[in-house]
Amino acid sequence: MKAHVLHRYGKKRALQLADMPIPELRDDEVLVQVHAAGVNQLDARLRDGEFKLILPYPLPLILGHDVAGKVVEVGARVRQFKPGDEVYARADDFRIGTFAEFVPVRQASLAPKPAGLTMEEAASVPLVALTAWQALVGTANLKKGQKVFIQAGSGGVGTFAIQLARHLGATVATTTSAANVALVKSLGADVVIDYRTQDFEEVLSNYDVVLNSQDGTTLEKSLRVLKRGGKLISISGPPDPEFGQQIGAPAFVRLVMRLLSAGIRRKAKRRGVAYSFLFMKASGSELREIARLLEAGVIRPVIDRVFPFESTNEALAYVEAGRAKGKVVIKLM
């Protein structure tokens, strides 16, 4: 099969288009023919080697976490899917590889493609949708009437999280540039802050939840807009000891995580708020819940650009630039 392959970690290192063997299917997996694949900041950060301690992938590596496509083969223990089914998924850790013609996905991580969505739209959803769901529903337990601050509202996670938070009945604040104010308001943002001219810390106060996706300075400032008992959830780090336990990291890696997050955890405790790091996990059952919202029109995918498969490196560079409105997708079929 054709695939875009990383042979060596390195900042902005180009992936090589190559012929690779189709991965061997395990008993609990489904082989998906990739029609479209979402492109995420996570792919660029993996390529750059940022997650070598947390996710020690062997090289060569095929990147890509989001997939929409058709089932072509099922493992011996698979009962929920059959060849020909249209599906979507966030590929499993250590089994990623959607920048290719075929990818294996565990049955438990797979879901039927939402009706009414194109393959490109479906491929734009899984990673950002599961991130928003696990942050706002799973970790924050966001309730009607609460206030949530979602950073970078015009990005991939932001465009989905705003819509989900609004559906849950929360008041939503976000940051974006002036050019994207109309977009985030159309998605359901109540308070929109132009990050170039305004300081969110001077505008927001007494929030219940912050979903942080930015740098350490923004993370620390986010503590100060939360009320006591509030929750600061970060998808950009630093990882905390609980995350190290979840992934079964070696003792020295857990120690590194403890040290990296010590400062923010200490400051959060002093202010009476909870800090947690979220690294999204694949989940077919949650994607089925998300599909219902998409099919009902409660949430809509936001796609900035679709690149041809041959232009995967260009798609990664576009995502890295940080100016995409919503998601970027590569199309194979």
The residues with which 29 forms a beta bridge, in sequence order, are 106
Tell me what pLDDT residue 253 has: 85
The predicted model gives 294-313 an average pLDDT of: 98
> Is residue 81 scored above 90 in pLDDT?
yes
- The CA distance from 64 to 44, in Å, is 10
Domain ranges for the chain, please list them.
Answer: 2-125+301-331, 128-277
Q: Which tokens is 257 given?
A: 């995580």
Return the H-helix or E-strand segment holding 27.
none
The pLDDT assigned to 231 comes to 98
| Residue pLDDT, tens place only, 231-250 | 999 999 899 888 888 888 88
Q: DSSP letters along 74-135, please?
A: E-TT--S--TT-EEEEEPPTTS---SBSEEEEEGGGEEEPPTT--HHHHHTSHHHHHHHHII
pLDDT band for 94, please (50, 70, 90 cuts). very high
Give the tens place of pLDDT for each residue, 153-201. Answer: 999 999 999 999 999 999 999 999 999 999 999 999 999 999 999 999 9
Cβ neighbors of 290 (< 8 A, separation 6 or more) are 114, 125, 129, 130, 133, 299
**For residue 171, which phi and psi values (nearest 5 degrees)?**
-85, 130
Q: Which residues pair with 30 in a beta bridge?
A: 74, 105
100-114: pLDDT as tens digits: 999 999 999 999 999
Average pLDDT, the chain: 96
Q: What is the pLDDT of residue 242?
A: 86
| DSSP 8-state symbol, 138 | I
Q: Which fold has domain 128-277?
A: Rossmann fold (3.40.50)
The mean pLDDT of 259-271, rounded to a whole number, is: 95
pTM to 2 decimals? 0.96
pLDDT at 118: 98
Q: Name the CATH superfamily housing domain 2-125+301-331.
A: Medium-chain alcohol dehydrogenases, catalytic domain (3.90.180.10)
